[in-house]
A and B are shown apart, each in its own frame.
Chain A
Amino acid sequence: MATKRTIEVELSTSGLTKEGRPQRVPLVTKGTLGGDTGVALAEPPSLELEGEHMLINIGPQHPATHGVLRLVLELDGETVVRCIPHVGYLHCGFEKIGEYRQYNQIIPWTDREDYLNSIGNNVAFALGAERLFGIEITERCKVLRVIAMELSRIASHLVWLGTTCIDIGAFTPFLWSFQERENIYNMLEGWVGARLTTSATRVGGMAADIPDKWLEGLRGFISTFPKTIYECDRMLTRNAIWVGRTIGLGVMSPDEALNYGLSGPMLRASGVAYDVRKDFPYLDYETYDFDVPVGTNGDVYDRYLVRVEELRQSVRILEQAVNRLPDGPVNVDDPRVILPPKHKATSEMESMIHHFKNVMEGPRPPAGECYVAVESPKGEKGYYFVSDGTSKPARWRIRPPSFVNLSAISKMVEGHLLSDVIAINASIDIVMGEIDR
């Protein structure tokens, strides 16, 4: 008959250090293995390990780097001693091309740099060009542009949420957020004809007015979207794994954050309440009633909370915008910039000449320069135009928020573990198209 033997294992301490981490202790068995032998297992490893630092390379092709980013990490075991980011793997010469295109022809390029916020970029570009030209847009156009910007803010934050969850290990919110993005895509496709790269604005107005019944679709979205936010929130915000993976990582104090030029949710999570919509407003944002969430700790968890709250605030702005949309023309009535309607262009001589000049030569602004910044989902997005009076800009500069935000990564990951690098990188919300242009 086999006797049942048990081995009792006694731990010499409670098992947790004072920070709450598991403590490594030797296990001593109470010797029932054929006698009172008291088998002691191996010595615990000493805390001071001799060794060399390891240089590892993440990217440029790697699913967790949100595009073609290359990080060279110098590791001491699993702890990052130094991080050297390499960018430029998506550099496509946007600013150079901008010097060879008329103002309205540059708009498709603005879609493709920050491709998650394409209609927002279109609006930002149009605002800058209109300041340069000295044009005031119509009221209807302003409200439509606010709707466009907030929809694209929601769309961009949804991608951020989905990809961050995948990086940290949760796959389901990715599917939920992309399903909501499909709803936004349907609306954008109904309005401008394209899902992702919209090219929706023109200098002086929009490419097209919203079709009939579009607002009902938007109202439907506004009523169903908060439920998705609630579901994601419920799944993640008080989830022990999520909190454990994100609390305390990548902390930036407010002074450091300002000095590094961070903007957007990165800066607000660090405790600086700077939002371009509130501080340097455009499109009458001061007349909308919304809050700007500001974090307190500057870590990855706070950035997550800030962005989820921004989703809710965007829905709030959308409700107000939908209710106040005035009737009237979308495009400004200025034949020097706006193409005439087709039936006039083919029948009246004057309209035909305007059409010809606008298409072949393009509208010409007065000489000067202008910098207009908007609050993109990534941060302060600015377009700087220098015009010499011709129809193509002498210099078109994109101020990329993700570029400046990413430069702080070497500071943020020092001392963290390798898997934290991925989480911190995800929290910056980078878009390589914007970084490399």
Chain B
Amino acid sequence: MGLSKPDAGGPDAGGPDAGGPDAGRPAIVSVEPTGGEGWITTRLDFLVNWGRSNSLWPMPFGTACCAIEFMAAAASKFDLARFGMERMSFSPRQSDMLICAGRVPFKLAPVLRRIWQQMPQPKWAISMGACASTGGMFDNYAVVQGIDTIIPVDVYVPGCPPRPEGLIYGIMMLQKKIMTERMSNKSLRNEMEPDPTSKLYIPAARIDEISEPFGNSVHQTRSAP
């Protein structure tokens, strides 16, 4: 299942020693002899996650109408600066979070992929709007049916375009997700690599399956009345 990054492990999952890549390695300072998570690592995780989630520097990959709502979210009325996102970093190398706002056609897909690759870890992605999440109303030859076929997405914000409050809700959801991360879970920072033969990032059958029209949409590919 490669659609999104591996589960960070919520508060209910076991600690990093539970079968993960660090199984068997002792924690930095082990106060509890039972082998659960150390108190200092927990505090350190909290501090790091708190710092990361409250100073996310977004990289607005704005293409269409959602970009205008993103700009409205960054403007005075729905200020994003109070979330630590004052600095919109347009260079991917200096950003943490990619907000893909708007529809992504196939011509733009390699560009989006390249921008994602240029971002250094830790990085997260928000897919803003219906077109970025699933292709939206553009179920045709030109539009990628969801950017999760190209990059791993953490939060999907529905809407066409989502209201700035909706985007802020999505950002806060991402902040909560970041707070549940564990530093010792190294798989969180894995880079998604393409399959060398097919050059795709998730299996081709999966792409075809999630891109199919569903429900009443089959009626909408008929041109003659």
Contacts and interface: CB of A to CB of B under 8 A. Distances in A.
Direct contact between the two chains A and B in their complex (CB within 8 A): yes
B201 interface: no
Given A61-B111, A178-B75, A159 B64 contact: no
Please classify the interface of chain B as helix (H, G, I), strand (E, B), loop, or mixed, using the class held by over half of its residues.
Answer: loop
Most buried by B among A67, A89, A392: A89
B220 A91 contact: no
Given A68-B63, A178-B72, A97 B111 contact: no
Given A88-B107, A90-B103, A112-B64, A96 B90 contact: no
B174 to A, nearest CB: 21
Given A90-B63, A179-B75, A197-B160, A99 B138 contact: no
B67 interface: yes
B111 A89 contact: yes
Interface in B62-76: 62-65, 67-69, 71-72, 75-76
Contacts of A93: 138, 140-143
A379 B102 CA distance: 24
Interface string A101-127: 100000011011001101000000000
A391 B105 contact: no
A97 B160 CA distance: 18
Contacts of A61: 61, 90, 111, 115
A97 B223 CA distance: 9
B52 interface: no
Contacts of B198: none
A96 B140 contact: yes
Interface residues of B, number: 38
A67 B222 CA distance: 32
B91 to A, nearest CB: 10
A109 to B, nearest CB: 7
A424 interface: no
B25 interface: no
A392 B103 contact: no
A111 B141 CA distance: 20
A90 B140 contact: no
Name which of A61, A93, A118, A174 has the most chain B CB atoms within 10 A of its CB.
A61
Contacts of B196: none
A392 B61 CA distance: 34
Given A60-B111, A115-B65, A196-B161, A92 B105 contact: yes
A288 interface: no
B142 A196 contact: no
Given A181-B72, A196-B65, A391-B225, A63 B107 contact: no
B105 A91 contact: yes
Contacts of B61: 61
A175 B76 contact: yes
B163 interface: yes
Contacts of B103: 90, 92
A91 B107 contact: yes
Interface residues of A, number: 43
Most-contacted residue by chain B among A91, A92, A179, A391 (CB, 10 A): A92
A92 B143 contact: yes
B225 A100 contact: no
A296 interface: no
Contact of B64 (A90, A96, A182): A90
A68 B108 contact: yes
Given A89-B105, A92-B142, A115 B68 contact: yes
Contact of B76 (A99, A178, A361, A432): A178
B221 interface: yes
B199 interface: no
Contacts of A60: 108, 111
Q: Which of B103, B140, B220, B225 has the most CB of A within 10 A?
A: B225
Closest 5 CB pairs of A and B: A178-B75, A115-B65, A93-B140, A93-B142, A63-B90
Interface of B: 60-65, 67-69, 71-72, 75-77, 88, 90, 102-103, 105, 107-108, 111, 115, 137-138, 140-143, 160-161, 163, 220-225
12 contacts: A63-B90, A89-B105, A91-B105, A115-B68, A116-B68, A178-B71, A178-B76, A182-B72, A196-B68, A391-B225, A433-B64, A433-B65
